[in-house]
Structure 1
Amino acid sequence: MATNEEIMSVWEEFKTANDERLAAIEANVSDPIAADKLSKLEEALQSLTGTVQDVVEEQKSLAKKSGRPGTTGAGADAEYKTLFNGFMRKGRNEEELQTKSLTIGGDTGRDGGVTVPAFIDFNIREQLINVSPMRQLAEVITTTTGDHTVLLNVRGTASGWVAETDERDETATPKINKIKVPVGEIYANIAATQTLLDDSAIDVESWIAAQIADQFAVAEGAAFITGTGTNQPKGLLASGNGFAVTASGSAAALDKPDALIDLVYGLKAGHRANGNFLGNSATEATVRKLKDTTGNYLWAPGLNGERGTLLGYQFYNDENMPNVAANATPLAFGDFKAGYTIADRKSFTLIRDPFTNKPYVMFYVTSRVGGTPTNNEAIRLLKIAAS
């Protein structure tokens, strides 16, 4: 694991190389060697800080898994796991699973299938959390139904000052807005050979969990950012969300440090205190090179396993965020827990199908996932525009 001293050493080299690049630009001189050096230092810095972050995330993951339900193999959980393992490998035990009050057929019973047990379900959620920044940042709730409504207090209550004997005018009453979370059904259709399932050395539960996590993460990760809200979550950048926008100050570039400061301080102090930045890796690479009017860099590398920071706030990478380009919104800042809600239906549903795609056994897994912006004052977007 990289030490803080190694990270800071590379960071100082990076700053020196970038200062030379900026000086060359001001002098209208092209220096490809300096540009190449800066690129290599940037890759080295990313590698070092990424290594630290990976180790910390792994430690956190192991700590969570060590105490989760179903890992001890005791009592009903052990019996449950044995039955489910037999179902996965050979298609056996479906009746026994049914007698243990497992849901057959998901929401409506139209397709058959069994509910994925808790230890599998936990693995899936855990891996999704690790790969989806929005799951780390947003409010994530679990519901037993397909629909969920979020209540937002608009704080309409008013007060006033009066003399002791003055009449008291009626004050405004608080308003509660109901925000329905758009929900869609997400699915994965995974193929496995019977030979693989017969191999006792293969941990089928973990293999299935990993496959589902990969496929679900790609689909839902994109939806949390750009989803339309029709049969899928409504994304952070979907039209009509009402988030305030700060212009970058340049028609096609992110090169004005003051715009980032305006973005941060455009939020109310309460949301700013819980603020984080969200952008893709290319955008982070761009802001790493920016300095304020006193020559200080706005970005700082993360030490002791922490994420890198921009203006003192942690920067999360989501590759679904757009690149810097004219009229794009490549950067979001705010209190994502207050500003965006993800709703998971309680369980995944799995159908084992050994017939339709021989010689493969198909595992068709579905879940209902929703998401929507819930407070347009909690998040602010940076738009690439002159004004």
Structure 2
Amino acid sequence: MKHVPALAMLAGSTALAMPRAIAASSIRADANDPVALIGQINTTLAAMRAKQDELSAKVDPLDVAQIATMNASISTMQSTLDGFATEMAAARLGQGNGPAQPENPEYTAAFMAHVRRNEVSAAMSVGSNPDGGYTAPVEWDRTIQGRLKLISPMRQHATVETVGTAGFVKLFSDRAVGSGWVGETASRPATNTPQLSPLTFGNGEIYAFPFVTQQLLDDSQVDIEQWLSGEVATEFDRQEAIAFLSGNGVNKPQGLLNYVTGGTAAAIHPWGDIKSSNSGTAAAIDKSDAIVKLVYSLPTAYQGNAKFFANLNTHGALRLMKDGQGNYLWQPSYQAGQPATLMGRPLVEMPDMPDVAAGSFSLLYGDMAETYLILDRIGVRVIRDALTNKPFIGFYTTKRVGGGVKNPDAMKALKTSA
């Protein structure tokens, strides 16, 4: 440093003097603070230069002694600064003893690793709720998306009546009236009289009983009661559509397929069963002749409103069928809202119909409105129950509905050959 020659010159001079206060302040420099030491050295040098100019002509042994004491103090502070410089250089090069070890080396090492991984916990981020995430809430849809439930459109094609009693009886005539040809004066004997036969259509009851806490009803951002009501209504539609096709008549409607030849309800109706024909190919529907025979087995009186009914898998099989000239029997619809056609007749998707398999009735053809009768006794009724299962609120939901075949002659079935 540049002050060293000056200090040596001052130490050898006998023409300078220095007050005791300045010398004493030089000796009190903090040996552990480099910044304080540098400031103290500069202050002392400035005072000494000023005194040199002021006392250049005066020679006093006391002043010389004071300057010598100050020079020794500055030398001590300079040595301390040199020590600091040496320690800092050793720390940079990784040599020597280096700086003093931290009081908690484990904490220091962990902190340095934390910083190297860029995991400074003091930073605010959306990903951490305590660090500011609460101020950036996630937007969410206040509607609920329901999973698809396939529902057969039986109600759209069948006859639906509302009844006011627990049961419903329909009378059927066998039309077995007698007649004969007679001459002008010949006798007229009695002829046969038609017989009436009743057919009872019972009502079934479908129910649901979901529970929800009162607090959820009060606090939810979604109208839980309305949503739950919609879910139950959809489920009711699904279950009754299944019963209209395959119900066994026990606490539920008697399904249409049970009236087909060989079915459990084939002998119930006074007019007999629903007649069927075979596909001609084992476990497949691939012959156009089978479709032609099915169509023309239905009486002309019912052809005007006749449709094909099958599930989507059967639709796929029917689309591949061709006539003898190579023309597809299936044709797409060119009018919005109208179904595709098979041999010019509408083809309706009925999800609850069986797949094509050996022995299954996978295709129906006929007038569904004339064939099947749906009876609504009481529509959907909801009773709100707050007592049975406290603190839950129950929504006891019921629907009474019945159904059965009213005219088996208006429908024909195709049975997949075994």
> Aligning the two structures, in what range does the TM-score lie when normalised by the shorter sequence?
0.5 to 0.7
TM-score by length of 1: 0.61
Q: CA deviation at 1:194?
A: 2.9
Distance in 1, Cα, partners of 2:412 & 2:239? 24
Q: Deviations over 1:20-41 (max 9, x none)?
A: xxxxxxxxxxxxxxxxxxxxxx
Residues 1:246 and 2:277 are matched in the alignment: yes
TM-score by length of 2: 0.57
Residues 1:316 and 2:348 are matched in the alignment: yes
Residues 1:226 and 2:249 are matched in the alignment: no
Residues 1:286 and 2:306 are matched in the alignment: no
Aligned to 2:185, the other structure's residue is in SS state: coil
Alignment equivalent of 2:206, drawn from 183, 186, 191: 186
Determine if contact 2:203/2:377 at 8 Å carries over to the other structure.
Answer: no
Identify which range, 152-161 or 195-204, moves more after superposition. Answer: 195-204
Q: CA deviation at 1:206?
A: 5.0
For 2:412, the aligned partner's letter is: R
For 1:323, the aligned partner's letter is: D
Distance in 2, Cα, partners of 1:270 & 1:372? 21
Residues 1:297 and 2:328 are matched in the alignment: yes
Q: CA deviation at 1:289?
A: 1.2
Aligned-residue Cα RMSD (Å) equals: 2.5
Pairing 1:85-234 to 2, within 5 Å after superposition: 131-195=151-215, 197-198=217-218, 207-234=227-254
Q: Report which of the two structures shows the higher radius of gyration computed on alpha carbons.
A: 2
Distance in 1, Cα, partners of 2:224 & 2:173? 46
Aligned to 2:170, the other structure's residue is in SS state: strand
Cα 1:276–1:197 change in 2 (3 A) is same
Q: CA deviation at 1:367?
A: 1.8
Residue 30 of structure 2 corresponds to: none
Aligned to 1:315, the other structure's residue is in SS state: strand
Residues 1:306 and 2:338 are matched in the alignment: yes
Residues 1:275 and 2:290 are matched in the alignment: no
Q: CA deviation at 1:209?
A: 4.3
Residue 375 of structure 1 corresponds to: 407
Distance in 2, Cα, partners of 1:309 & 1:165? 58
- Identity across the alignment (%): 42
Determine if contact 1:182/1:230 at 8 Å carries over to the other structure.
Answer: no
Distance in 2, Cα, partners of 1:243 & 1:143? 26
Aligned to 2:244, the other structure's residue is in SS state: helix
Aligned to 1:381, the other structure's residue is in SS state: strand
Q: Any gaps of 5 or more consecutive residues in structure 2?
A: 1-148, 267-272
Aligned to 1:271, the other structure's residue is in SS state: helix
For 1:254, the aligned partner's letter is: I
For 1:274, the aligned partner's letter is: N
Q: CA deviation at 1:208?
A: 4.8
Q: CA deviation at 1:162?
A: 3.4
Determine if contact 1:253/1:324 at 8 Å carries over to the other structure.
Answer: yes
Q: CA deviation at 1:135?
A: 0.9
Q: Deviations over 1:283-323 (max 9, x none)?
A: 11110111111222111112222011112222222221110
Q: Any gaps of 5 or more consecutive residues in structure 1?
A: 1-127
Count of residues paired in the alignment? 258
Greater relative CO (CA pairs within 8 A, separation 6+)? 1
Determine if contact 2:279/2:290 at 8 Å carries over to the other structure.
Answer: yes
Q: CA deviation at 1:154?
A: 2.8
For 1:336, the aligned partner's letter is: M
Cα 1:295–1:359 change in 2 (3 A) is farther
Q: Deviations over 1:110-131 (max 9, x none)?
A: xxxxxxxxxxxxxxxxxx9x94
